[in-house]
Amino acid sequence: MNAVEQSLHFENVVRQEWTSPTTINAWQDWSEEQSIHCKPLTDALIRHTQLAEGQTVLDLAGGVGEPALPIARIVGAAGSVVATDLSEGMLAVAADKARREGLTNLRFEVADVHELPYADNSFDRVVSRLGLMYFWNIEQAISEIHRVLKPGGVASFVVWGSPEQNEYFGSILAPFNQRREMPAQSDDMPTPTRFGDVSKLTEMFACQGFSEVASQAYCEALPWPGTPRELFQHFYDMAVPLQPYIDSFDENEREAVLQEIEAAFSKRWDGKYTNAFASFNTVYLTK
Average pLDDT over residues 50-73: 97
CATH of the domain at 69: 3.40.50.150
- Our count of domains for the chain comes to 1
The answer to whether the beta carbons of residues 86 and 114 sit under 8 Å apart is: no
* Local confidence band at 127 (pLDDT 50, 70, 90 cut-offs): very high
- The closest of 122, 144, 151 to 205, measured between CA atoms, is 144
**Residue 227: band (very low, low, confident or very high) from pLDDT cuts 50, 70, 90:** very high
Residue 170 sits in which domain range? Answer: 3-286
pLDDT at 111 over 90: yes
* CA 7 remoteness from chain centre: 20
Cα 74 to Cα 53, 150, 158, 231: the distances in Å are: 6, 19, 19, 30
Q: Which residue has the higher pLDDT, 187 or 166?
A: 166
Determine the Cα–Cα distance for residues 59 and 51; give it in Å rounded to an integer.
13
Beta bridge partners of 57: 81, 125
Contact 63, 158 (CB under 8 A): no
> Are 157 and 88 spatial neighbours (Cβ–Cβ below 8 Å)?
no
| DSSP labels, 179-224 | HSPPPP--TTS--TTTTSSTHHHHHHHHHTT-EEEEEEEEEEEEEE
Q: For strands 149-160 and 123-129, give the pairing.
A: parallel
The predicted structure's pLDDT at residue 166:
86
Beta 123-129 vs 274-286: how paired, if at all?
Answer: unpaired
Assign 112 a pLDDT band (cuts: 50, 70, 90). very high
Q: Name the pLDDT band for 151 (thresholds 50, 70, 90).
A: very high
| pLDDT reading at 203 higher than 90 | yes
pLDDT at 187: 75
Closest CA to 261 of 272, 276, 247, 250: 276
Max avg pLDDT among 73-87, 185-199, 201-215 = 73-87
